[in-house]
Chains A and B, each alone.
Chain A
């Protein structure tokens, strides 16, 4: 059906081309102004990124002495090699925390979303409202009790403690997102599966999850981004500095700005390394993410 629609649209596009009318002069001027404004904002937005990118390929001396947006005169990878040395362990930690934290919260969220989206039970609205409220809960508000809890479980300064925190605190957001998708699974399908001899959880496993892969992917990527970029849990739930057991990349990167001065090229190279995985995910998954978010998932709340 989608193919048909695309075909229809391209037909309409051709028709529009043949019917092209020369625009009036003031419309042309307006268009130019629009584009100027757009370009201006784009430059403003991209300039810091550009600065970070070019600086990461400079030697430290050059990075300090030249304009931050000038192209490197001597192309150098020393920033990257230095940054990799410092970040290697923490990047691996971050990767583990991101993947398991996102998987955990998507798993929990998916189960909650299924129960809330497809089944009626007492107080289900109360549960849902509580979950939405939890989505807007500022983490700062619960930091101290969370820290005490994690310490009690013996998970302080342990990446699995951070994974646990992310799994649980990411769950409300995942539930909200996935409930939107699950409520689009037709009720007739659920009824049919019941008639075919399946219980509530068999239906979840065999019908709902396989038919909402897009929801799972979208929510997973969404969670990955926020966990990968997150700093607060990473900072509070783990020991920092010498002897740290669970340093995460976001925190380690910031500790580059040390007491002995700043290696700007290393810092910028580190930033690039940190930004890269999410950039890659978005480039490859962008298509799914857009269609996923369009189908009412994120706006479900």
Chain B
């Protein structure tokens, strides 16, 4: 068990000419389930490999607890604990099971390397195998297993050794949807039970939202935002975060800000909204300028009267079972709206009322959030 601290870490694949990760600073608490989320190429796996010690950063420090694991400066290493001495367990997307060993040998391999007595290895492997329903498969070869079984073996192999840090690199990427939900649930449960500091790399925002205590959203080698899933969802720090989290994606309307009779009006051309009082202060500097207004698909409802509402035309309906996704036209723009009613609306012309408490306002130039 250990917390992880990263200080000013830069990673470069070309000796400092360009950085894959640029001045990364991060604190991961002991026992926390931390998810590195981001599009491919954002540096999330690189960050994890640096923590594992599979990669030497160009500069910066990595601590497990108070213990310095990596310290490099300008491409020269000062302190570097090799991965085999960091007491970490890792699950790779490719599973990386040893083909020359049986399931039992795979799971016990790290313990055998640590010279744990054979009885103890057997006990731990059997215990973990029972939890993951692998008992019947223990004497099989890896080639005889299905994808889901391999996945469970890879997890089991990481879990038997009670590591101080548990690293998972897109471990559910190769599973089918149903199995993925199940493993996701189990993984979260196991992590809570063991209370091991866990880092989980994924590009899937659903996985991140459902599992994480702490999401670190990366893009282009920088942390876009970190915090709890709800922090990121409810208060996205910029348009990228707002767009990355939540399906369907947030709707963005470019608006100009006008002041009329002491109230601020957001004018999108096709509709006008009176800004609520709590964003007044944030909007004041933007009077006469443009802002981007973000409204999540779930933050609309159908209104009866016309005050502060948006006229829209129904385009198409996607039933989700418990709700409907309505694609509506506002002017020429197609907007998604999640409608929670029992029956899909029949009328083609409707008035949409956005939840004014949940507006997201962004500066169109810096893309940063304006309102608190």
Contact = CB atoms under 8 A, between A and B. Distances in A.
A210 interface: yes
B124 to A, nearest CB: 14
B96 interface: yes
B37 interface: no
Nearest to B83: A194
A196 B109 contact: yes
Contact of B96 (A191, A199, A210): A191
A205 to B, nearest CB: 11
Contacts of A199: 82, 84
A139 to B, nearest CB: 37
B94 interface: yes
Contacts of B19: none
Contacts of B113: 196-198, 202
A211 B98 contact: yes
Interface in A177-194: 186, 188-189, 191-194
B84 A188 contact: no
Nearest to B89: A195
Nearest to B143: A1
A71 interface: no
B99 A192 contact: no
B100 A211 contact: yes
B100 A188 contact: no
A188 B109 contact: no
A193 B89 CA distance: 10
B233 interface: no
Interface string B91-118: 0101110111000000001100110000
Contacts of A186: 94, 96
A188 B167 CA distance: 14
B82 A194 contact: yes
Interface residues of B, number: 21
A84 interface: no
B20 interface: no
A194 B54 contact: yes
Contacts of A207: 98, 100
Nearest to B99: A211
Given A197-B110, A211-B98, A192 B84 contact: no
A91 B100 CA distance: 37
A196 B89 CA distance: 7
B77 to A, nearest CB: 14
B85, B89, B98: residue with the most chain A Cβ atoms closer than 10 Å:
B98
Contact of A192 (B85, B96, B100): B96
A198 B88 CA distance: 12
B96 A198 contact: no
A84 to B, nearest CB: 42
Contact of A195 (B88, B98, B99): B88
Given A188-B96, A189-B96, A195 B90 contact: yes
B84 A195 contact: yes
A197 B96 contact: no
A191 B92 contact: yes
Interface in A74-88: none
A197 B83 CA distance: 7
Interface in A223-242: none
B335 interface: no
Nearest to A191: B54
Nearest to A213: B100
B154 to A, nearest CB: 9
Nearest to B157: A196
Contacts of A202: 113
Nearest to A196: B110
Nearest to A203: B84
B223 interface: no
A186 B84 CA distance: 18
A188, A195, A197, A211: residue with the most chain B Cβ atoms closer than 10 Å:
A195
Contacts of A191: 52, 54, 83, 90, 92, 96
A123 B327 CA distance: 60
Interface string A9-44: 000000000000000000000000000000000000
A206 B109 CA distance: 10
A192 B94 CA distance: 10
Contacts of B95: 188
A194 B84 contact: yes
B84, B90, B92, B157: residue with the most chain A Cβ atoms closer than 10 Å:
B84
Interface string B210-236: 000000000000000000000000000
Nearest to A188: B96
B94 A196 contact: no
A188 B89 contact: no
A118 to B, nearest CB: 13
B163 to A, nearest CB: 9
Contact of A196 (B54, B84, B99, B100): B84
Interface of B: 52, 54, 82-85, 88-90, 92, 94-96, 98-100, 109-110, 113-114, 157
Given A195-B52, A197-B110, 16 more contacts: A186-B96, A191-B52, A191-B83, A191-B90, A192-B90, A193-B98, A194-B83, A194-B84, A195-B110, A196-B157, A197-B85, A197-B113, A197-B114, A199-B84, A202-B113, A207-B98
Interface of A: 186, 188-189, 191-199, 202, 206-207, 210-211
21 contacts: A188-B94, A189-B96, A191-B52, A191-B90, A194-B54, A194-B84, A195-B54, A195-B83, A195-B84, A195-B90, A196-B84, A196-B157, A197-B84, A197-B85, A197-B110, A198-B113, A199-B82, A199-B84, A207-B100, A211-B98, A211-B99
